[in-house]
Structure 1
Amino acid sequence: MEIYFSPEIINPESQILNVVDQNQKAVGYLAIIFTEKKAYVYGHLEDEGVREDFKDLITPYLQGIAKSKTNLELYSYIATGGKN
């Protein structure tokens, strides 16, 4: 199953991205809150069957965020199907 980001809110202080499947059904989300030197990331995916796709989707996204600001500390908690 293909999954994609569907942005809900994107502004300088935060981002909320829905994770949807090819039928536009929500299967999870990624929430990011920014402070001056830190970014807090919380993500949840309901379906364990697309766990690897979820990791492949968020890893480069979070790497890009980490590069966006000098010395940005990235704190994250990502869970799939209730497991972290």
Structure 2
Amino acid sequence: MEIYLSPEVITPHFQILNVVNGEDKALGNIALLFDGKKLYAHGILEEEGVSENFKSIVQPYIRGLAKAKPDLEVYSCLYVGCKKISLNGDEEKEKNKE
């Protein structure tokens, strides 16, 4: 299933984006908060079958935002269904340390 980002609110300090399918049905959302040199991303997607699609549209979007501010630290918390997903594999590295 194809999914897309649909802007709900965009300001210089935060963005709220809906995640929709081809029929414009809301499947979840992403909230982005800018705080100095930090970017906080929190997203929830209800459809478990599109986790790779979700990751593949969110990752380049956040990378593009990061290009606008040098040395931007990105903190993300993204869930598909009830499972947390990682944009860069940091959670996997932490699990392997334990």
Which TM-score band (shorter chain)? over 0.9
Q: Which runs of 5+ in 2 are unaligned?
A: 85-98
The reply on whether 1:44 has 2:44 as its aligned counterpart is yes
- How much does 1:70 deviate? 1.3
- How much does 1:78 deviate? 0.5
Q: Which runs of 5+ in 1 are unaligned?
A: none
**Going by fraction, where is strand more abundant, 1 or 2?**
1
1:30 counterpart residue number: 30
**What's the C-alpha RMSD, in Å, of the aligned pairs?**
0.7
2:7 counterpart residue number: 7
Would you say how many aligned residue pairs link Structure 1 and Structure 2? 84
TM-score by length of 1: 0.96
- How much does 1:68 deviate? 1.2
Opposite residue 37 of structure 2, the aligned amino acid is: K
3-state SS of the aligned residue for 2:83? Answer: coil
Residues in 1 aligned to 2:46 and 2:17: alpha-carbon distance in whole angstroms: 14
Residues in 1 aligned to 2:57 and 2:71: alpha-carbon distance in whole angstroms: 23
Off by >4 Å, runs of 4+ in structure 1 = none
Residues in 1 aligned to 2:57 and 2:45: alpha-carbon distance in whole angstroms: 12
Task: Point out which structure has higher relative CO (alpha carbons under 8 A, 6+ apart).
Answer: 1
Of structures 1 and 2, the larger Rg is shown by: 2
Identity of aligned residues (%): 52
1:77 counterpart residue number: 77
TM-score by length of 2: 0.83
2:88 counterpart residue number: none
